Amino acid sequence: MLAGWVLVLASFAYLGILFAIAWVADRRADEGRSLIANPTVYALSLAVYCTTWTFYGSVGRAAATGIGFLPIYLGPTLMMALGWFVIHKIIRVVKANRITSIADFVASRYGKSQLLGGLVTVIAVVGVIPYIALQLKAVSNSFTILAAAPAIVMPARAAAVPLLQDSALYVAIIMAAFTILFGTRHLDATERHEGMVAAIAFESVVKLCAFLAVGLFVTYGLYDGVGDIFARARELPNLERLLTTADTAAGYGSWAALTFLSLLSVLLLPRQFQIAVVENVNEAHLRRAVWLFPLYLFLINLFVLPIALGGLLHFGVGGGVDADTFVLTLPMANQSEGLALLAYIGGLSAATGMVIVETIALSTMVCNDLVMPLLLRWGWLRLKARSDLSGLLLEIRRWAIVAILMLGYLYFRLAGEAYALVSIGLISFAAVAQFAPAVIGGLYWKGATRAGALAALLAGFTVWTYTLLLPSFAKSGWLPADFMKAGLFGIELLRPQQLFGLTGLDEISHCLLWSLLANIGAYIGFSLARAPDAREARQAGLFVDALRVEDAGSSWRGRIAAGGTAEQVMELLALAGRFLGPDKARAAFERHARTRGASLAELRADADLVHFAESQLAGAIGSASARVMVASVVEEEPLGLDEVMNILDEASQVRAYSVELEQKSQELTRATAELRAANEQLLELDRMKDDFISTVTHELRTPLTSIRAFSEMLHQDPDIGAEDRMRFLGIIVGETERLSRLINQILDLAKLESGRADWTSAEVDLGQVIHEACESLSQLYREKGVALTLEIAEPLPTVQVDRDRLMQVMINLLSNAVKFVPADSGRVKVGAGATAIDVRVSVADNGPGIRPGDREVIFEKFRQGGQDVLTDKPQGTGLGLPISRQIIEYFGGSLWLEEAEEGGANFVFTLPLPPGDN
């Protein structure tokens, strides 16, 4: 059996392991080989969200409400989906402004207001104390139960136990000592605790394994799987209702309210803010946490309902065993001491993780945002005194840790017994939800002001206190109970949990509704009451535009009065030294000087340096106090609202310019592409011109050569016979004709292409032109024995063209046709017809035809159809078709080549009819 001393020993051994892990991680961090620079460690450390509430309380909640424990884990899953927006932005803001806690965040956002920082701290401390009490209660209960094994005895009411015999007191003391050892060994300007994060990640693994082990033991050891447990539960009338949820508007309403509440809490609880934002090493780690953390929540909830039902089946409903303890008592009742011990360690790790991070985060807030501003105000910190204050800072934090845990214990003694674990936790959730408008609104709304945030927090906190905190005291008997029934001053409308007569909601939804209504209303109302002042506008710009502007913030500084001297640098250094420790401060200043390419002695107290010093200090004592401290050394002329607006304008102008620049460069790229295309076209044209010239000269040389050859023969040999002489002269005449035809056509083409041709325009009867063209070539056709048929759909409409040019096209097409058809069996068919918009003329032959690939080529200059098949002797000039096409296109029609029905070529052209002339 487990004796008490075994438990104590096991507990201390476990804490020792944690401490060892933290120590190793800190060592590694100092060596620059960080253990926690790993996305998985980051995601696991986020699971500090799962406290004893999850470990013990979920089962209790499930035993009472079925699936009612789940919204608390669905909310964070949804939040992580939004995390890529919200958490990402907060991390960016926090890193840029060296913010160390959620109080610092709110204070900094609304103009570095000490008052606001203090208020957030008070709310956080008061709000979270029930939550810490919950951990104390869970650990001390689990210890008491396990120490009494094998008998299963529920712990007595804490109030009934004498103070010095109350195990919860010792748990609180040990946890305080442990947290002090953990979190306040040295002062870090960024408030980062690598060792702590490593230990928390380890604890997350321990509690998950412990809970899964118990879950598997109950589900598959005690029962025959999940289906078996549900089947047995269904047989008992009292358990049936746990398998569905209340099918009422209030039931779904409170489900949605809890989801929303946990969605906010996973970001706004001081410890979640600390782990998710302040301890974040690398923004990119968020990427894995977005899914790994919800997966963790999923796994740790898998067996909650089976354990709850298993416990109810085993112990009976109302069988004297608190459902909050099933995780522990089920293994005990089945003689599995080892597993019970593991469950106890799991619960202990869930509690220590929460308490360590929460109290460290709260102690930082208490020190930076509550105590330091008060000390400054009371003048305790003589600014000219040169003493090292970093020790004082640590001392304040240690006492804050002790005080917070003692307050937690006090709440446990006063009110802890009236509630189940989960209900206590929800009180804290509702408290931190009050930060939501100020934090999330502040990230996206530039118009929010300090007055708005102050009013919002005060209103929300007041309503929360009245509707949730005071009733929790009343239920425990520490406040008169008729306060609950009759309302404040006996006014029924002011009954705390039916405020203004609102009934039908559970207490959490009720509080959430009224407090957030008051909170958001005050936030918007007071913010809109007046415009933000200069400092508020400046901070709003830094926060809202955090993801867009890479601005360290030094451009926002006022001008340094008195020029900024080297003496002031030394004073700033001394100031930082007092809070950070002289050596650390000097090292930081030297690093800063190096990044600016100067030595420490050459530095002047300019805006950059003042900003640097203030952010260093902000890490140690909070941004609001840092501002006051720095202002005592360096007098800055405060920026006026106009100047801030100018800077904001400049920032937005810079953005506008960069957008404009981007557009310009895109235009430039487009223009370049166009130019390149034009250039290629020009080069192509140039090449075509060269080709043209060489082709023309070649074409001209062929007839010239033969003319010259025959002329020389006639010239040199007078003895040539008359018959030969006549034949040679005939050749010379033919070649000369061909030459002049060629030159005429070249000139013609040049004119057409340059647009200098003379055109006449008249109503022309197309049919008549076709007939005339056929007439003029009929001799040629007859000589070759080619049949020419006409198929003209009379009457053809008249067209508006140059008659001679059209004739030229017809003759060209007809003479081409007769050239390529076989003699004697050749047939050429001319067709013509009109449609509504144009007339169409075709000249088809039964010659060899043109291959599809060459059908466009023949319209190029000097390219002749089938040149490769025929002999070198050209049958034409190679300019007829290009000229014809130019002419037809000039008239607005088109000329192309198709395959004729008989396999030959079919040249077709269309001419448009004048509009309206059908």
Supply the DSSP symbol for 522: H
Of residues 18 and 261, the one with the C-beta less far from another protein: 261
Under rule CB under 8 A, residue 549 binds another protein: no
788: nearest Cα among 816, 814, 823, 819: 814
CA distance 328 to 342: 9
Distance CA 87, CA 80 (A): 8
Distance CA 738, CA 885 (A): 22
Stretch that binds another protein, among 155-163, 221-229, 458-466, 734-742 (CB under 8 A): 221-229
E strands, 766-887, are: 787-792, 798-801, 827-834, 838-845
Q: How far is the CB of 638 from another protein (least distance, A)?
A: 36
| From candidates 230, 399, 445, 890, binder to another protein by CB under 8 A | 230
* String of contacts with another protein for each residue 185-214, x by CB under 8 A: ------------------------------
Interface region with another protein, contact rule CB under 8 A, candidates 147-155, 249-257, 448-456, 553-561: 249-257
For residues 218 and 215, what is the distance between their CA atoms, to the nearest angstrom? 5
Cα–Cα distances in angstroms (integers) from residue 261 to residues 222, 266, 350, 428, 558, in the given order: 35, 9, 21, 10, 41
Q: Extract long-range pairs of 35-41: CB within 8 Å, 24+ residues apart.
A: 35/194, 35/198, 36/194, 36/197, 36/198, 36/201, 36/279, 36/281, 37/281, 37/282, 38/285, 39/282, 39/284, 39/285, 39/287, 39/288, 39/289, 39/292, 40/288, 40/292, 41/197, 41/198, 41/201
Per rule CB under 8 A, is residue 288 in the interface with another protein?
yes
Nearer to another protein, 306 or 767 (CB): 306
Interface mask toward another protein for 574-603; x: CB under 8 A: ------------------------------
The interface region with another protein, picked from 134-142, 155-163, 254-262, 630-638 by CB under 8 A, is: 254-262
Can you list the alpha helix ranges (DSSP code H) found in 379-449? Answer: 390-415, 421-432, 436, 442-444
| Size of interface with another protein, in residues (CB under 8 A) | 38
Residue 868 binding another protein, by CB under 8 A: no
Query: Residue 639 gets which letter from DSSP?
Result: P
String of b and e for 830-853 (b: at least 16 CB within 10 Å)? bbbebeeebbebbbbbbbbbbeee
245 binds another protein (CB under 8 A): yes
Q: Cβ of residue 508: shortest distance to another protein, in angstroms?
A: 16
H or E segment to which residue 762 belongs: strand 762-765
Classified as helix, coil or strand, 792 is: strand
Q: Which C-beta is closer to another protein: that of 181 or that of 302?
A: 302
CB of 251 to another protein, least distance (A): 9
Q: Quick one: tokens of 242?
A: 């746990």
Tokens of 593: 């000087």
Instruction: Tell me if 220 contacts another protein by CB under 8 A.
Output: no
Neighbouring residues of 569: CB distance < 8 A, sequence distance ≥ 6: 589, 600, 603, 604, 605, 609
Is 69 an interacting residue with respect to another protein (CB under 8 A)? no
Tell me the C-alpha distance between 14 and 159, whole Å: 29
Closer to another protein by CB, 212 or 484: give it: 212
Closer CB to another protein, residue 303 or residue 579?
303
Contact 634, 610 (CB under 8 A): yes
Q: Please report which helix (H) or strand (E) contains residue 896, including its range.
A: strand 894-899
State which of residues 45, 52, 77, 465 lies at the interface with another protein (CB under 8 A).
77
Question: What's the distance, Cα to Cα, between the start and end of the chain in Å?
Answer: 113
Interaction between residue 661 and another protein (CB under 8 A): no
Mark 259-278 with x for binding to another protein (rule: CB under 8 A) and - for no binding: x-------------------
Smaller CB separation from another protein, 59 or 888: 59
Of 12 and 220, CB closest to another protein = 220
- Residue choice 252, 380, 444, 657 for contact with another protein (CB under 8 A): 252
* For another protein, the closer CB: 305 or 707: 305
Interaction between residue 692 and another protein (CB under 8 A) = no
* Comparison of 174 and 513: residue with beta carbon closer to another protein: 513
Whether the CB-CB separation of 333 and 152 falls below 8 Å is answered with yes
Nearest approach, Cβ of residue 156 and another protein (Å): 35
Per DSSP, the three-state class of 250 is: helix
Nearer to another protein, 308 or 830 (CB): 308
Pairing of the two strands 827-834 and 787-792: parallel
Element housing 361 (H / E): helix 337-365
Q: Which stretch binds another protein (CB under 8 A): 222-230, 628-636, 749-757, 886-894?
A: 222-230
> Is residue 393 at the binding interface for another protein, with CB under 8 A as the rule?
no
CB of 109 to another protein, least distance (A): 22
- In whole angstroms, the minimum distance from the beta carbon of 218 to another protein comes to 16
In whole angstroms, the minimum distance from the beta carbon of 645 to another protein comes to 28
Burial level of 574, CB count in 10 A (0-12/13-18/19+)? middle
Q: Supply the minimum distance, in Å, between the C-beta of residue 229 and another protein.
A: 9
Q: Which parts of 300-319 interact with another protein (CB under 8 A)?
A: 302, 305
State yes or no: residue 517 binds another protein (CB under 8 A).
no
Interacting stretch for another protein, rule CB under 8 A, among 93-101, 241-249, 495-503, 603-611?
A: 241-249
Nearer to another protein, 87 or 834 (CB): 87
Near another protein by CB under 8 A: residue from 4, 16, 150, 227 = 227
Shortest Cβ distance from residue 437 to another protein (Å)?
A: 19
Residue from the set 28, 92, 185, 287 that interacts with another protein by CB under 8 A:
287
Smallest distance from the beta carbon of 299 to another protein, in angstroms? 10
Binding mask 350-389 for another protein (x = CB under 8 A): ----------------------------------------
Counting contacts by CB under 8 A, is residue 70 touching another protein? yes
Instruction: Please name which of 883, 880, 911, 900 lies closest in space to residue 816, comparing C-alpha atoms.
Output: 880
Smallest gap, in angstroms, from Cβ of residue 209 to another protein? 20
CB-based contacts of 812: which residues, under 8 Å, 6+ apart?
Answer: 880, 881, 883, 884
668 is a contact residue toward another protein (CB under 8 A): no
Tokens at 513, concatenated: 């509704």
In 10 A of CB 811, how many CB atoms?
18
Q: How far is the C-alpha of 902 from the C-alpha of 714, rounded, in Å?
A: 48
Binding site for another protein (CB under 8 A): 67, 70-71, 74, 77-78, 80-85, 225-228, 230-231, 234, 240, 243-245, 247, 252, 255-256, 259, 287-288, 290-292, 294-295, 298, 302, 305
